[in-house]
Structure 1
Amino acid sequence: MPVTTLASLGSPARRAAAAARRAEQDDRNARSVALLTEALDAPEAERRRIQQRVVVDYLDVADAVASRYLARSQDAGDLRQVAYLGLTKAIQRFEPTRGADIVSFAVPTIAGEIKRYLRDTSWLVRPPRHLQELHSELRTTIPGIAQRLGHEPSAAEIAQETGFSVDDIVQALDCGQSRQPASLDAPHGIAADGLGTLTLGDTLRATGTEFARAEVAAALADACRTLSPRDRRILYLRFVHEQSQAEIARECGVTQMQISRLLTKILATLRGRLTPDLLAA
């Protein structure tokens, strides 16, 4: 039988299947809207039970939305759970008196929940939120700009098209590497003797003094956490903002002499919580 005949036979079948699916979805929507309308006047416990019933009936919609965002670095089970949470929120917020299409209302809520989850968990090194959001936006806009210009756009061209500054564009593009930072074992050239390969870790060297300072800083941070909020505030004003004792006294509402005594007491407390080796460093 010719291919055209097979195609002509298949097309009505596909249309019939699509019509059946639409009819099934319409029936489910009408049934769920009726349930949620009934829940409006129901007691709290009954309303929650009805909403949960509708949520279970629409889990396939949440699964479909979650599948759009599934990446190799994301656990599929976690992503589905986030999608189910978004679906639950959507059903709880749905007002049957103001709209009749549950899917159209739920999908943006589910997608928004997934996007927030990915924004907050998929960065191993987290840049500022505005750069995360700009990075996500650029991933969808740059291909269109490249197609329009006929070449890969520069940061200046992207800035001109989007209205963002060049610095923001550069930082947003660079921060995409924070999702999967380079391994310290990644190859980084040939060793000086020509007999081996350097790794990225081989190029990151620090002196013994720098390691000692880092150890002292870590120990000092732990010691500061044992201080009262007032004492930590005084240390912050004195050694970070470099305010004078008189300025700190005015801000804290005490005398300069009291601040002097408090600083002496605080520093003595911190010295007592550091080992002799760390104090010597």
Structure 2
Amino acid sequence: MASPTTPGRNPASARPGRHPQLDPDTSAAFHELATLPDGPRRQRLREEIVCAWLPMSHRLARRYSGRGESDEDLRQVAALGLLKAIDRFDPQAGTAFGAFAVPTIIGEIKRHFRDDLWAVHVPRRAQELRAQVHRARLELSVRPGHAAITVQDVAAHTGMSYDDVLIGLDAQKTFTALSLERPLGGEGTQQTLGDLVGQEDPALGLVDDREAAAPGLRMLPERERRILYLRFFMGLTQSEIASRVGVSQMHVSRLLRRSCDYVREQALAPQP
């Protein structure tokens, strides 16, 4: 005599490839959910469905363990996919929820790996090459006689070009970024990675000004050009300039003011 169906389980879940003892029968709950308006009863029923199917989403998340993301984050992403599947599922379509939810959850996990884990933006082609290289290295690592897997090994195994393998390997390094506070050298060193990052040269802001002032400077008499050089490039005081040029400090002051005004006028004049 055949044993009765376990209460609360879907007889269809006994098909090959399903988990008759793991996949719950929530068909009645989904039909009721589709008829309920927003409110406390609908929210409680939706939470019950989520709890019933959450172990299945965790099983799917474990498939992607060890790929650069923590298990806890993978379970959260899978749970998000489960919520999307519950909200999109139509119980009148004649499809079992498990068959509908699995590709939805897997798609959410893959989208997470594709879009959210990269420390920098990586083109889609580089992401695909990274995945090919990653699979090839896993396959080659279980073969005997491959203590160190080379670029040539991966290229021969996949049929990829040497350059494409290099692109895939480089893309593997972009999942995480090094902290700028990472110390360089041995213990006790004060230098960090951020110390090697270049900064904008403040002199860059003067490039345009110097180019604009150049024509006016070239038109000044030699004495005025020398006075400007001693004042603004050598940093001498007006008294020191006066003693070098052989004029009074008052005269140096007038020449500086007149020369600056002239250079400014030439820089701001409309260009022909």
TM-score scaled by length of structure 2: 0.50
Larger Rg: 2
The structure richer in helix per residue is 1
Q: TM-score, normalization: structure 1?
A: 0.48
